[in-house]
Amino acid sequence: MDRQMRVFAESHFRGLQGGLSSNVSPKLDHVDFIENPDSFSYADFFKGYLLPNLPCVFSSAFTEGWGSRRLWVTPSGKPNFDYLLQNYGDVVVPVANCGVREYNSNPKEHMPLKDYISYWKEYIQGNYSSSRGCLYLKDWHLCRDSSAESVFTLPIYFSSDWLNEYWDALDVDDYRFIYMGPTGTWSPFHADIFRSFSWSVNICGRKKWFFFPPGQEEALRDCHGGLPYDVTSPTLLDSRLHPVLNRCSPPLEVTQEAGEMVFVPSGWHHQVHNLEDTISINHNWVNGCNLANMWHFLQQELCAVQQEIIEWRDTMPDWHHHCQVIMRSCSGINFEEFYHFLKVIAERRLLFLAKGVGPGKVECGKSTGLGPQQAAFDVSRIAEVLKSVLAHPDFQRMDTSTFSPQPEELLQQLEEVVAATTSL
């Protein structure tokens, strides 16, 4: 990020006046296809897609040097089962059953990769049918389990990745995943965790995507207020079940070919189907451009929890604390952890600006290389969101006496740096 881009970005957020970038997406009739890596810069992506929160597809030229595209795929473009078995066969992986609905998702089991590949081969031999159902390997943390240096290279467009930077700093988790599955496997209608951005690369195979801009999902709700499980289901056309469907525009449809990379913006609901035997690499990520969306989502999640147990508000000791506990159990994060997430990223940026230490690491130890302008922009975004967090009544009810530094002190540090770096 250079100064011109930073000024552009800060002007963009001032124009939103506290609004959410996910709610200002214009109506689209197509998704842009980016052909040439040599003529498409980080600034082009930042201004054209990241800030306005719009999807795009990158050609296979952007990933042609990836080891996984060479090693995980046969010359005929199919999954290289022999290589995968030799290198990862004993790794235990999560597997979902696409034929079984559990709430609005699929139940999962765990098995060694070699057992899943054995199933996959049998599924193909059975004309893509099995008594075991349609099984989809989802959310395998390959980068957490082993080195990913030979698998992929993080594209510069997605390198400002606070979510994985935070989890890497704690050394406990990440949001980098491998998906593998035969023709017919699919992911039900959803928006990504924490309203994160995501990117997805087909190592082999083809996917069909259905995209709905933020807000469109409201018209898809049924008469009970629930979101659909499958937007391709004929039941969606029943006006008695979906009384406001006529307010929803048709989805944006994308067919993703082998090697191509899809950018999924924050808050865009989507559904994805594998049209062939497919392997993909997927990351969820958060940065200054969608941080406010994440914070808004967490507030909505807390409100939902509070409504569920509102009847015990006056009789349950520490009711507000219990709401935070339930929220973390359901959503994977609560207000306290969100504050610590902001704190970790903020302190790394402050250290970088003070001493010139790199602004964090991304997968496989590669520096983001985005420089002081990016760090200053990050600080300004954290300061704005942290100010809102500190003003929230439920955060004010929390015991922050053991936090170091105190939240108010951290905000003061950030605001001082924002003022000092205005002319940077």
Shared domain check, 262 and 341? no
d(CA 297, CA 299): 5
Residues 256 and 307 both lie in one domain: no
Tokens 């207020």 — which residue?
A: 225
pLDDT at 19: 64
CATH of the domain at 261: 2.60.120.650
pLDDT tier for residue 172 given thresholds of 50, 70 and 90: confident
Beta strand 261-264 with 56-58 is: antiparallel
Query: What's the DSSP call for residue 318?
Result: T
**What are the tens digits of pLDDT across the range 77-88?**
999 999 999 999
- Would the pLDDT of 366 be above 60? no
- Asked, for residue 409, whether it belongs to a domain, the answer is yes
Q: Indicate if 303 and 342 belong to the same structural domain.
A: yes
For residue 360, what pLDDT is reported?
46
Q: Please check whether residues 129 and 183 belong to one and the same domain.
A: yes
Q: How far apart are CA 424 and CA 418, in angstroms?
A: 10
Model confidence pLDDT, tens digit, residues 317-356: 999 999 999 999 999 999 999 999 999 999 999 999 998 6
C-alpha–C-alpha distance, residues 271 and 33, integer Å: 19
Q: Identify the pLDDT of residue 243.
A: 94
Distance CA 216, CA 236 (A): 14
**Within a domain: residue 242?**
no
The mean predicted confidence, pLDDT, of the chain is 93
Structural domain harbouring 343: 291-420
Please give the pLDDT value at position 104.
Answer: 87
Residue 255 lies in a domain: yes
Whether residues 43 and 191 fall in one domain? yes
For the chain, give the percent of residues with pLDDT over 90: 88
Tell me which DSSP letter residue 156 carries: G
280 and 301 share a domain? no
- Between the two ends of the chain, the Cα-to-Cα distance in Å is 12
Model confidence at 364: pLDDT above 50: no
Asked whether residue 10 is assigned to any structural domain, the reply reads no
374 lies in some domain: yes
Residue 133 lies in a domain: yes
* C-alpha–C-alpha distance, residues 192 and 53, integer Å: 14
Split at pLDDT 50, 70, 90, the class of 362 is: very low
Residue 306 lies in a domain: yes
In a shared domain, residues 275 and 338: no
238 inside domain: no
- Shared domain check, 65 and 115: yes
Domain boundary pick from 241, 270, 285 = 285
| Tokens, residue 108 | 């999962």
Q: Cβ atoms within 10 A of the Cβ of 17, count?
A: 6
The confidence score (pLDDT) of residue 20 equals 67
The torsion angles phi and psi of 4, rounded to 5 degrees, stand at: -60, -45
Same domain, 261 and 347: no
Collect all residues with Cβ–Cβ distance below 8 Å to 385 and sequence separation of at least 6. 291, 292, 295, 342
Last residue of a domain, one of 285, 311, 340: 285
Q: State the pLDDT at residue 23.
A: 55
Is the same domain home to 303 and 270?
Answer: no
Q: What is the pLDDT of residues 107-153, one digit of tens each?
A: 999 999 999 999 999 999 999 999 999 999 999 998 766 666 689 99
For the chain, the domain total comes to 2
* Same-domain pairing of 50 and 89: yes
What six digits make up the tokens of 306?
């509070």
Whether 191 and 217 have beta carbons less than 8 Å apart is answered as: yes
* Cα–Cα dist 256/208, whole Å: 6
178 lies in the same domain as 203: yes
